[in-house]
Amino acid sequence: MQIFLALFFLGIVQGLTEFLPVSSSGHLVLFGKLLGIEESLFVSILLHVATLLSILVVFYKDVWQMIRHPFSKQTMLLAVATLPTCVIALVLMPLIKQSFAGGFLPICFLLSAILLFVAEKVSQKSAKGQLNFKTAFIMGVAQGFAVFPGISRSGTTISAGLLSGAEKEQTAKFSFLMSLPIVFLSLVMEIFEIATGGVTVQVEVVPMIVSFVTAFLVGIFSIKLMINLTAKSSLKWFSLYLVCIAVISAILL
């Protein structure tokens, strides 16, 4: 029962924090340790797949258009953003796996807080433009460094877009779509390592399924919430929250 409730709670955490700029992986590592769950990269990827399905449900029209028109501008923007992410993630992979021990969490949370604060201040003063290939590439580079727990993927990519002069709501939507190929490729890589004997995984199947479904359902709610918050609210409040969670993680871990 303890493992069931713990994984159910982690599903809620993943669904809520994946699309808010506060780092879902960082929260999974933090709460996993507090709940006595040995949070692994595999579990993290599975829960990210759940929220990937949330994106497919909410943005099914955009995804279907990209499938139907593989050489459309939006599809090309996604390809341009994905390439630098893959290169950076592959280079940093050994360090990424070590980071799931939680040692980097306070620093990574703090870095996310600073980035959000700066992006909000700069975006208030700069002119808003359309998302272009240069911005997509910059967001892809940012996503590559946001693979560490504590560095918010959505927060980092949205901040990169805003600092490049793109409009906030459009940037947020593209940030969500950017996670689709990366989470899919991460799952393929992890399955390959398991199949070839490079990784041993011990997962409670039924609690994991409940956690997966919970993350998926909460993720749908979280996407819609974040789209509204992005349009109406300041990122500085998320920055303040991240400073608090950085202090908490430094004390508890």
Q: Kindly list the domain boundaries of the chain, sorted by start residue.
A: 2-252
pLDDT mean over 127-143: 90
Average pLDDT over residues 118-144: 88
Residue 185 CA to residue 7 CA, distance in Å, equals 24
- Cα separation values, 174 from 52, 131, 161, 166, 196, Å: 13, 9, 9, 11, 34
Q: Which of 8, 9, 7, 27 is nearest to 17 (CA)?
A: 27
> Amino acid letter at 107?
I
Q: Lowest-confidence range among 31-40, 174-183, 243-252? A: 31-40
Tokens 């991240």, located at residue: 242
pLDDT bucket at 217, cuts 50 / 70 / 90: very high
Average pLDDT, the chain: 86
Higher pLDDT, 231 or 177: 177
Of the candidates 20, 8, 21, the one whose C-alpha atom is nearest the C-alpha of residue 47 is 8
DSSP string, 108-153: HHHHHHHHHHHHHHHHHHSPPB---HHHHHHHHHHHHHTTSTTS-H
36-45, 48-57, 63-72, 105-114, range with the lowest pLDDT: 36-45
